Amino acid sequence: MQDLRQWLARRLFFYLRSRSDLDKLADSEIQDLAEDFVQDTLLQIRAKLEQFEGRSKFTTWAGKIAVHQALGELRRARWRDFSLDSLIGESDFTPSFLVNEADPDAPDRAVERAETMRAVAEVINEELSERQRAALVALMVEGVPMDVVADRLGTNRNALYKLLHDARKRLRSRLEDRGYNIETLLNDLSG
């Protein structure tokens, strides 16, 4: 266990030191942080020991638990004050330029693109639940981690991924029902 502790602490230290969001911390602080994470990790390893199946080296398996633990804590600390409340019920995907009167002098192509945007926004607004829309906005606009969004929704990352997977499948099939092809839409809008 002592060897494992050292293996994890050294590597976690160098990894944490390379992260740009921690570059204000002194080496001694990063060392303390790494040791705290390793302490928590070792407790988890003891509890999960029978789950180790030998499909990788033991250190790699332990490293996976350490990374999950450390990054989970860093994400939650960094986004401690984030709230989803302002996004739930108010996340409207309608682009702001569509809210204004159409510009009569806009070229045909711009009008076409605006129409396509409006159609996609409509499907998103109509077909997704408020939770699904709020999660999408948080993840894509605010850059909030999945773990944090999951916490705020009272769920976990795995269930949130499934919620979003269902949302993506639903959107794709509804757009196809309306005669849209995703690749064509992408070409039209990003081209």
Partner 1 sequence: MTMNASPMIVRVLRMLAGTQEIELGCEEVTALLDEYCEAQAGGEDLSRFAPVMNAHLRLCADCREEYEALLTLVTMDADPISS
Residues that bind partner 1 (CB under 8 A): 10-12, 14-15, 18, 55-57, 59-61, 63-64, 66-68, 70-71, 75, 86-87, 90-97, 99, 117, 120-121, 124, 136-137, 139-141, 145-147, 157-158, 161-162, 164-165, 168-169, 171-172, 175, 182-183, 185-186, 189-190
The least distance separating partner 1 from the CB of residue 149, rounded to whole angstroms, comes to 10
The least distance separating partner 1 from the CB of residue 185, rounded to whole angstroms, comes to 6
- Helix 58-78 to helix 27-48 angle, to the nearest 10 degrees? 120
Rg value, the chain, Cα = 23
Query: Which residues lie below 8 Å from residue 84, measured CB to CB, with a gap of 6+?
Result: 134, 135, 138, 149, 152, 153
The least distance separating partner 1 from the CB of residue 162, rounded to whole angstroms, comes to 6
The least distance separating partner 1 from the CB of residue 66, rounded to whole angstroms, comes to 8
Find the helix or strand (DSSP H, E) in which 55 lies: none
Nearer of residues 39 and 184 to partner 1, judged by Cβ: 184
Rounded CA separation 184/111 (Å): 17
